[in-house]
Amino acid sequence: MRMATTLPADPTLDEIRAALAPLIADNAAFDGFGNEALADAATRLGVDIDVAKLAFPGGARDMVDAWFADIDARMAERWPAGKLATLKIRERITTLVETRIALLAPRRESLRRALALLALPTNAPHAAKLGWRAADLMWKLAGDTATDFNHYSKRTILGAVYGSTMAVFLNDESEDFAETRAFLARRIDQVMRFESWKHRRAARAIERPSLARFVGRLRYPGR
């Protein structure tokens, strides 16, 4: 478990929320994401419980959100864009997902509880938001600057890969999560082959005459 973070003298609710999040996750394996986990985290951090509750107005869902945001931040700290730039694109994405696995590994039961909470029908939109946020950050760190349809398709595909990898990870008892890493490698290989096919198809594309324009000329020949 991580040591309690030292807060500044006059912390904001955002700072309290960020500091409490990993401590709540420490307890969530036993208590779930609820008041007991929050109370213990607040005690460890030296925060009044009523103030701690103010940092999570949405309750358990906000606690999970804050924990995943902490994972996002720690991943970005370990692999800033400049450091990733030395790797090939496939290696960048693989490295980022594997880093998330390493960060989540000590709290795998907490992750199980978090995903079960997000799987509730009422939390489906929020679950989609968190998945998109993680995929978006990974692509940005990997150097993606697409603003067209590819921007959305890349994140949608990576979100699906990440989600399925987490499902394998939750039940992986192999050494150093070898089965999860092999599964991830296969999925990313499939994605890279698809992206390669798209690039080849675009490169082969040639400008073809417009059928509508041709028919229009037959009906209304130039004079």
Better-predicted residue by pLDDT, 210 or 199: 199
Domain spans, the chain: 80-223
What integer best gives the mean pLDDT of the chain? Answer: 89
Identify the pLDDT of residue 199. 63
Q: Could you give the CA distance from residue 129 to residue 123 in angstroms, rounded to a whole number?
A: 10
Contacts 24+ apart (CB under 8 A), 74-79: 74/103, 75/99, 75/100, 75/103, 75/137, 75/138, 75/141, 76/137, 76/141, 79/141
Better-predicted residue by pLDDT, 121 or 149: 121
Q: Which residue carries 């390493």 as its tokens?
A: 102
What is the average pLDDT across 80-102? 95
Position 111 pLDDT exceeds 80: yes
Q: Could you give the CA distance from residue 133 to residue 113 in angstroms, rounded to a whole number?
A: 20
Position 6 pLDDT exceeds 80: no
What percentage of the chain has pLDDT greater than the value 90?
76
Q: Could you give the CA distance from residue 164 to residue 40 in angstroms, rounded to a whole number?
A: 32
CB 45 within 8 A of CB 20: yes
* CATH code, residues 80-223: 1.10.357
Identify the pLDDT of residue 9. 84
